[in-house]
Copies of this chain bind each other. A is one copy, B any other.
Amino acid sequence: MLLAYSMKVVYHLFSGGKDSSLAAWILKKLGYEVKLITITFGVLDNWKFARETAEILGFDHEVIEMPIGILEKATEMCIKEGRAGNAIQYIHERALEYIASREEVKRISDGTRRDDRVPFLDLSKARSLEDRYNVAYIRPLLGLGYKTIRELVNEIFVVVEDESEKVQKGDYETELRELIRRKGHDPSQIFPKRHVQSRVVGLR
């Protein structure tokens, strides 16, 4: 009983990118038992890249399939708005709620940063999430600027970086681009051109 009491389990949204990897690493340093969660909508199997990184980093990893309707709504938003910001925000909020609503979940976490525009929960949204689901919402990178994140990432991880479509990871964007394509639209008109993506492929 004492052992169970002392375990602090946190469910952490994880893509295999450097931000969510660094956040997971910090949570572990703070004494949390980190369970990585990658979201899929069943469209592609890009969650496998997140699993690969999870294994390299030595964390438990679970893939959760969320209703395709959420990705479809996000796709509509992208096509209507010509931008992906609100759609990414929409998916992220639904993902946090989906995990937070599980009976066993008392702590949820992600790799969102101070300098992120999306996805990002402002103070009232963060508190609302905590209150509605009775969870603690932990964002280890929120108080860190880009210099600090770069310094820690370079020290801890081996990272590959390239433009979005070349580096594969387990993020929302990959399936969102695919569904936009299937609906006959060009995702490169919706996502920023020089959006550099990263994936962690090793520990230093």
List residues of A whose CB falls within 8 A of some B CB. 8, 26, 29-31, 107, 112, 114-115, 123, 126-127, 130, 136-145, 147-148, 151-152, 155
CB distance from A45 to the nearest CB of B (A): 31
> Which residue of chain B is the closest to A144 with respect to CB atoms?
B138
Counting chain B CB atoms within 10 Å of each CB, the highest count among A8, A140, A141 belongs to A140
Contacts A26-B29, A136-B145 supplied; 17 other A-B pairs, CB < 8 Å:
A26-B30, A29-B30, A30-B152, A31-B152, A107-B148, A114-B123, A114-B142, A127-B145, A130-B145, A136-B148, A137-B145, A138-B144, A138-B145, A139-B143, A142-B142, A142-B143, A143-B143
Which of A139, A147, A148, A151 lies at the interface centre, i.e. has the most chain B CB atoms within 10 A of its CB?
A148
Can you list 6 A-B pairs, Cβ within 8 angstroms, ordered by A? A31-B152, A114-B126, A114-B142, A136-B147, A136-B148, A142-B142
Distance in angstroms between the alpha carbons of A141 and B26 in the assembled complex: 12
Residue of B nearest to A112 (CB): B143
A106's nearest neighbour on chain B, judged by CB, is B147
In whole angstroms, how far apart are the Cα atoms of A144 and B151 in the complex? 21
Nearest 8 CB-CB pairings of A with B: A142-B143, A139-B143, A136-B147, A29-B29, A142-B142, A136-B148, A138-B148, A136-B145
- A26-B30, A29-B30, A142-B142 are known contacts. Are A130 and B147 too (CB-CB below 8 A)? yes
- A138: chain B residues at CB < 8 Å are 143-145, 148
- A127–B29 CA distance with the chains assembled, in angstroms: 27
When C-beta atoms are compared, the residue in chain B nearest to A129 turns out to be B145
A130 to B145, CA, bound (A): 9
